[in-house]
Amino acid sequence: MIQLFCNAKFDDHSSLTRNDFIGGFGLALFLLFFQLNTTVAYVGLLVVTLVFAFQAKTWMPVMQRDTVTFFFLSIIIYLVYYSTWSIVEFPETAEDQQKALFNWIHWLFFIPIAWEIFRHRKHIDSILLILAVGVLIRIITQIDWLDIGKLFQGERTGFGMMPTVFSPIVGSIALGLLLLAPRMIVQKPTTAKWLVGLKFSVWLVCLVFFLESIVLSQTRGVWLGCALVFPLALIVRYKGSLANRVKISSHSLAMLALLCGLAGLFVHENYQTIFNRVNSEQIRPQPEAIKKQVGGQEILMTTSVGYRKLFWEIGIRKWRERAFFGWGPGTTEALLKQEKNPLMSQPIALLEDGSLLYLHTYHLHNLYLEFLVRFGLFGTLLFLALPLVLLVNVRKAQAKGSIPWDYACFLFAGWGLMAIMAFFDFQLYKYAWRNYCLIWAALTYAVHLEQLSLQHEKIQSKK
């Protein structure tokens, strides 16, 4: 698996220092454990941050006039100021405001990671490999291999994580396997056939692992995202290669036929799980056991779509009340607790131990509504401008030939998958999701840092 991921290399314009090797270790630690262990991931992030601080004389001339840096600093200042203001106006939410401030800043702390990726850009293949291996370790270690059949009996699983957090992470890894496949399998025309076969086998096994994990997570928002993003990304990625290939070898046709057959088998084996989950949105009465535990009273019941509709209606109403600036970074839970809707104060399920499961009322199940409610229209535009600027810079870099087309497709498609999933959920309070967003922003910004570095070197050479 050493060469599983792409080996795209950027031109090296600066020598590595001792700090770079320490920073590289911290980067590897963070990428491997970003969703495996909170403490170890934070240690890696701390190491990278300290190295970044020590290298200030190197990066400050490169970043000082960058648009991304401007938005980053503006958002940080806005967050600190607005959290303080919210604590003064809503003192009962002080603890929530402080937690929210940490979570939002954590999600935005991508610049040190991006700088370290840029410094080690010649090893982008290893960087992506470490990222994928960490996710694969989670899947393998969370499977009960002695009773593996239980895994396919219809229950949702996030392999030790919330399914709504795990599924977009593993979805982006599967996306990378599909879009970067030629780099992983055939890196040179002279590669021996037996080695190509071995790499293809490893690639295929990993792809099946990740795709099956997406199915088992039963997260419909991610399923929808994959259904929309995967086909479009594959067409955009490979249409040039197919158009330029006048003659397709029998070996390639056999490989294509095998993949089509395996895809059909995969859909056939998972059809029932997908069908049951897609058609599970039916309003059903609560079990009799729950009625007894709540005093025998008739309990209203809706579906997950129904609950989302309820939350979205509340979110839109609250946003309209303070449309421009919102209520504050940590006020969503307090606002939801003010609602008197009986659907939000009753049990929604009976657990195996006999206890009742109540609805979680601390977010709106929609990232964009969270932006509007917490920060208003002004803050929302400020936040959304950052990924937009990042992606515009990637497009410019790709147009100049600074990064491979398939790598640019991977970044764009990954952001697209995240954007669709964010419409159905909000997971910023989960460390793995914050790290996931941080990593995507860092990978994207590292591409632009290459351009900034070249521009800085040209300026220096003219002096």
User: Is the pLDDT reported for residue 40 higher than 90?
Assistant: yes
User: Is the pLDDT reported for residue 369 higher than 90?
Assistant: yes
pLDDT band at residue 456 under the 50/70/90 scheme: low
Average pLDDT over residues 115-132: 90
Between residues 262 and 36, the one the model is more confident about: 36
- In the chain, the percentage of residues whose pLDDT exceeds 70 is 78
User: Is the pLDDT reported for residue 11 higher than 50?
Assistant: no
CA distances from 85 to 39, 80, 97, 98 (A): 31, 9, 10, 12
Residue 9 located in a structural domain = no
Residue 115 located in a structural domain = yes
- For residue 331, the model assigns a pLDDT of 87
182-211 per-position pLDDT tens digit? 888 876 666 677 787 888 888 888 998 899
Closest CA to 180 of 443, 436, 387: 443
- For residue 17, the model assigns a pLDDT of 76
Average pLDDT over residues 279-306: 52
Between residues 363 and 245, the one the model is more confident about: 363
CA distances from 347 to 156, 163, 218, 337 (A): 20, 21, 22, 15
Average pLDDT over residues 428-450: 92
Q: Which of 101-110, 144-153, 297-306 has the lowest mean pLDDT?
A: 297-306
Residue 292 located in a structural domain = no
- For residue 436, the model assigns a pLDDT of 94
- For residue 143, the model assigns a pLDDT of 86
Say if CB 206 and CB 4 are below 8 A apart.
yes
Between residues 349 and 71, the one the model is more confident about: 71
pLDDT band at residue 259 under the 50/70/90 scheme: low
* Residues forming a β-bridge with 347: 358
- For residue 414, the model assigns a pLDDT of 94
Q: Chain-wide mean pLDDT for the chain?
A: 81
Residue 370 located in a structural domain = yes
Closest CA to 108 of 116, 100, 117: 100
User: Is the pLDDT reported for residue 253 higher than 60?
Assistant: no
- Indicate the DSSP class of residue 359: P
Q: Which of 78-92, 94-108, 271-285, 327-341 has the lowest mean pLDDT?
A: 271-285
pLDDT band at residue 292 under the 50/70/90 scheme: very low
Between residues 245 and 107, the one the model is more confident about: 107
Residues 6+ apart with CB under 8 A from 291: 297, 298, 299
Structural domain including 199 reads 18-143+157-281+366-462
399-431 per-position pLDDT tens digit? 888 888 989 999 999 999 999 999 988 888 889
Between residues 236 and 302, the one the model is more confident about: 236
Residue 325 located in a structural domain = no
Residue 221 located in a structural domain = yes
- For residue 280, the model assigns a pLDDT of 67
Between residues 161 and 11, the one the model is more confident about: 161
Residue 195 located in a structural domain = yes
Helices (DSSP H) in 64-192: which residue ranges?
Answer: 67-89, 94-108, 111-119, 124-142, 163-179, 181-185
Provide the CB-side half-sphere exposure for 427 (13 A, CA).
Answer: 24
pLDDT band at residue 453 under the 50/70/90 scheme: confident
Q: Which of 15-29, 39-53, 326-340 has the highest mean pLDDT?
A: 39-53
- For residue 64, the model assigns a pLDDT of 80
Longest dimension (CA), the chain: 83
Average pLDDT over residues 274-303: 53
Stated pTM of the model: 0.85
387-402 per-position pLDDT tens digit? 999 999 999 988 888 8
- For residue 343, the model assigns a pLDDT of 66
User: Is the pLDDT reported for residue 38 higher than 70?
Assistant: yes
E strand spans, 212-355: 347-350
Closest CA to 284 of 349, 373, 232: 349
User: Is the pLDDT reported for residue 113 higher than 90?
Assistant: yes
User: Is the pLDDT reported for residue 443 higher than 50?
Assistant: yes
**Hey, CA dihedral for 84, 86, 90, 96, is it positive or negative?**
negative
Closest CA to 301 of 360, 339, 350, 346: 346
Residue 97 located in a structural domain = yes
Say if CB 413 and CB 174 are below 8 A apart.
no
- Indicate the DSSP class of residue 348: E
- For residue 111, the model assigns a pLDDT of 93
pLDDT band at residue 285 under the 50/70/90 scheme: very low
Into how many domains does the chain fold? 1
- For residue 34, the model assigns a pLDDT of 94
